Every structure is written in C-alpha cells, then in structure tokens.
Structure 1
C-alpha cells in the first residue's frame, strides 16, 4: 500500500502532540499552549496540518468522549476542564495555533479533507487490540496515582476508531498505552508493528521507546 506517513520518524498529528504534554514542560494549560506554539514553529506546516486535521475529524464526537481521549493520551498531566476550559474550546485553541502557522505558508487554508473510507479489516484489527487490552488499560487508567480515575477510556477509543478514523484511533490508543505504561506481550508488539505498516507508519511511530513490552507476558 501507499505509505502516506512514511516521512515521519515519530508519532504525528494530535497523538504526536500529546506526547509532549508532560511535567515540567506542560505543567498547565498556559504552558501547554506555549508548547503547542513552539512545536508548530519547529516542525513546520505539514506536521501542523496533521494536528489540525486530527482535531477537525474528532469534532463530531461528544464532549465527554473528546475529554476522555485527551486525558488518556496525556495521563491528565494537563487537564483543561479542571482549569476552566471545556474540551472543545481547548482543542479549538490548539487548532487556532495550527491555522496561524499554516497560513504563514498558505493563506488559502481550508478545512481538512474528510478521512478516507476506512478499510473494514483494519478497523476490526484495531478494535480487537483495544478490546483485548481493555482490562489492563482500564485498570491503569482507574488506579493511576497521577490523575483522577478514567474508567471510560476503552469505549472512547473504540468510538474514535469506529466513528472517526481507525488511523487516528490507533495512534490515540498507542498513546494511551504509553501514557499509562500498560504491559504488552512481544506478540502484541509485533502485531502493532504490522498494523503500523498497513497504515503506512515508520516503526518509530508505533514504538518510540515508551511501550511497556514484557517477554514473558502472554496476552
């Protein structure tokens, strides 16, 4: 298949942005917006367009799902709602930063194109991985000592896959596994790499060193 993302050697789009939302760099929303501005300047319009596209494609999801996806990807290091933002406004602020950066190069910026028609087999493969790791991910998301319990993480990820785009859903799922350091087996890791190849990812998009792989785990 064509590899639309093979120029990236790390996670990209909104999932790639969220990995930087960590203490002490992004200790609150103000610092988070400064960080987003710095990253959009550093990486340029193509990288920024992918962030904007992800945000625009997520827009039809309900606020509570959007909030869960954000918190799961960042392990709530930055919780916009706790600082007085609603999640849609928060994502809109990040989108505005992206639009400003892109229009430096392309003043005729228009909304992102709709997601391509999903491959049903790819969608089902991602859903299968999410459902199989649901108990472990949910346990970590509920018992984290760093953030409030997040019991609905798996249903939110499933909705991202089924109602938005399996590509984006898979990246957000991987980011949640990394954020909560959920143990996975080597066999599952190999399946993740294979799925990434089918989406056109470099293997470093799938694993940037933050997946928690156990050689003796069978899952």
Structure 2
C-alpha cells in the first residue's frame, strides 16, 4: 500500500462495541458454560465482519480518494477493535469488579453471569478481549483517528459529554423510581460514566432501558437521540428496541429532518422512477427517526388531498409534478394522485389504524412572503425549461402554477415545491436569498436539512 496510511471511518447500522455484544446476549439463549459464551462472542464478531459499514470509502471516486489520501479500500478498524476499546476502558478503570458485573448483567438481560461460572467480571472481559485479539490483525496499527477524514466528524471528548450522560442516568432514576433498571444498576452506570467512559455508559444505559422495556415519552426520547447524535452514532441506534410512547400523528408538526409530503415525493424521483405503487409506498413508509409511525404517509396524504381538491387541471398538476421532480413522466394528474392517496391510506391502516386523515387549514399568513420569493425568481428562469432533452416543460409555466398553489391551495406546500423547482433548474442563489429561505423554513418549522438541501446553489453561477 502506498500513500497516506490511515483507517477509514466506519459507522454501524445498529449498536456496537460492548453494548452491541450485550444486545447479542440479551437476544440469545443463555449460554450453558464459558465456552458457549465465548462462542457467542465469536458469532457476534463474525456477523459484524460480514455487515457492510454505512460509510465505505470504496464508494468514493478516484478524485475524492486522492483528496483524502487513500489508494486502496479495506476495513482497517473493525468491530473487534471497537469492542476491545470498550472492554479496555472498563478493565483498566478503578471500577469495582462488582460494578462491572452489575452493568454487564443489566445490559445483557442477565443471560450470562460470569460469577456463576467462576469468573470475575474483569476475567470475563479479558476473555472477550482475547477472543477479539485472535481475529486477523489490522494492516495499519494505531488508534482510530480522532475525526472522520471523509465527513469531518469527531467523537466528543469525555469531559464534553460526561455531565450530560450522568444527567440522563439520574433522570432515569427519578423517572422509573422502584421500577427497573434497579438503583444498583443506575449507580453502577453513574460510576462507569464518571470514572471509565461516558460513551460506554450511555450505550449500556440504552441497553438497560431496552432490556427492561422502560416506557420512554417523546421529550425523553428526543434528549436521548440528541445525545446520541453528539457521539456520531448511526440513526436508529437509540430508537431500535426502545419502548417509546409516540404522540398521536399531527400533520401540522414539522419534525421530519428532510423534505416531506408531496415535495418529498418529488425529491425521491430519479431517472428510472415511474411513479409506481411500490415507489410511492417507499416514500409513504419513510418516517424519519423520531417521528410517530405513519407521519410520512399522513403528511403526503394531506398534500395529495389538497391538490386533488384544487381547481388545477390534470395538465397543470402534471406540469407541477414535472417541475418539482425534474423527471417528466406525465404522471401527476388526478388518477395518479388518487393512487398516491390510496397508498398513503394503506400505509396508515398498517402503521396507525386509529388515525383519521384530516386536511388542516392552510397557513395563509405565509402567502405574501412566499409569493415575493417566487416572483423575484421568475426573471432568472424565464428562458429555461425543465428537462430540456426529454418532454421539455417551460419553467415559466411551472412558476405560474407555484403562485397558484401558494394563493389557492397552501403556501407551505407552495414553498416546498418552490425549493424543489430551484433544485431541478439549478437556479443560482445569493447568500442573502438563501438566508431568507432559511428564515421562512424556520418560521414554518422545517427540519435541519430541509432548506439546506438547496444551499449548494448559493453562488452556483
């Protein structure tokens, strides 16, 4: 291998390290002896070795690989290394052996108690580390880099998150009272966070909450998710297996991170997209992390019902779709919108059978500010067409329809479709104009990456 030798960033699709191992134990039958327990460790390592990381440098082109200093693709930092890092944090700490045993038993569902098999907790973890060490060695020695060379993220330092992890453990103590996790477990987790590793303590806390099916309300869940994101955990690590008391679906709540509804459906269109039932279902079932199940279908259905109930002609609806999606297929008329509505209802019947679809009143107070932005853009696209080489659609026609959506249907939907049209036409934006779009998005309550999806257009010309 030539060039700069550094491991590339690996992100897991679920839990990992010691907490990931305890999950494997919690889901498995209780091992009959130490050999069987170590066999489960090996099976867990094998399973993760076969899993593909979410961010793989092999997906980068030659230019990006050169930029980041890589010339080959291989997994230099695997699950075994992450597990060893967690194990070492506990074994090398001043924690009492009983403390380590307590958190292990709580997180693993008490499937394997090392003391019952003549092992101290530290001896058990040393066996785990030896099993990891027997795996094929990495080609490049040394610790994981402090930040992701591709995405720029770095895990937080212990002192940056320790107090927040301790606060969640103490909140759990107050919230669950006499219910599990036990007071001894929570005390042990506090000690892990304070003297060994806040990161390990946080993931083991999540495992204990899941093992004991602790009911988590939405505000608590949101805090856990926010803390998890600071650790750069994968989306879903908190939510998967957690017993969450989801609030009722509310189409007025804008808690999707990205685009949503009919504009989100347009965003999903691509060159081979045909508007089929299956493709629509993928979007309708695409609830964001932290969203009540069925929310994506509910907001898509509401947008669709608004369009179906409007005075726009079938041709106008198809033109609007073409402009927002950039993939003209002459879908978008009422027959196709009825298919979209049917798919949304099917998804809601499955995910939220108690939900009754409603069309909330349009936020008309936004109309003037959204119209102003659309009209300022009209001169810049007057001579453009959507998809000029396939079924060209005059951009002016699309902009006229956007104004009608804003004034006659829903300014929120009109603004979302406007953002999609900007992206489709690659309209250059000034920083000032983009900042105004951000302000509108914040006023409506859009998610973190909704408006920023068009930030690449700033000074694109």
Partner of 1:160: 192
Quick check: 1:86 aligned with 2:145? no
Q: Which residue of 180, 205, 208 maps to 1:140?
A: 180
Quick check: 1:211 aligned with 2:232? no
Displacement of 1:68 after TM fit?
0.7
Cα 1:86–1:112 change in 2 (3 A) is farther
Quick check: 1:42 aligned with 2:74? no
Bigger relative contact order, structure 1 or 2, given CA contacts below 8 A and separation 6+? 1
Displacement of 1:205 after TM fit?
1.7
Partner of 2:15: 11
Q: Which residue of 212, 225, 237 maps to 1:180?
A: 212
TM normalised by structure 2 equals 0.40
Would you say the 8 A contact 2:24–2:44 is kept in 1? Answer: no
Displacement of 1:22 after TM fit?
3.1
54-63 or 126-135, which deviates more: 126-135
TM normalised by structure 1 equals 0.81
Cα 1:39–1:212 change in 2 (3 A) is same
Displacement of 1:43 after TM fit?
2.1
Aligned ranges 1:39-78 → 2 under 5 Å: 39-44=44-49, 46-59=78-91, 60=93, 61-78=95-112
SS of residue in 2 equivalent to 1:206: coil
Corresponding residue pairs, total: 201
For 2:79 and 2:228, locate their aligned partners in 1 and report how far apart those are by CA, in whole Å. Answer: 18
For 1:43 and 1:215, locate their aligned partners in 2 and report how far apart those are by CA, in whole Å. Answer: 31
For 2:9 and 2:242, locate their aligned partners in 1 and report how far apart those are by CA, in whole Å. Answer: 20
Cα 1:73–1:192 change in 2 (3 A) is same
Aligned Cα root-mean-square deviation (Å) = 2.7
For 2:113 and 2:211, locate their aligned partners in 1 and report how far apart those are by CA, in whole Å. Answer: 14
Highest CA radius of gyration, 1 or 2?
2
Partner of 2:166: 127
Would you say the 8 A contact 1:69–1:172 is kept in 2? Answer: yes
Displacement of 1:182 after TM fit?
1.1
Q: Which runs of 4+ in 1 moved over 4 A?
A: 107-113
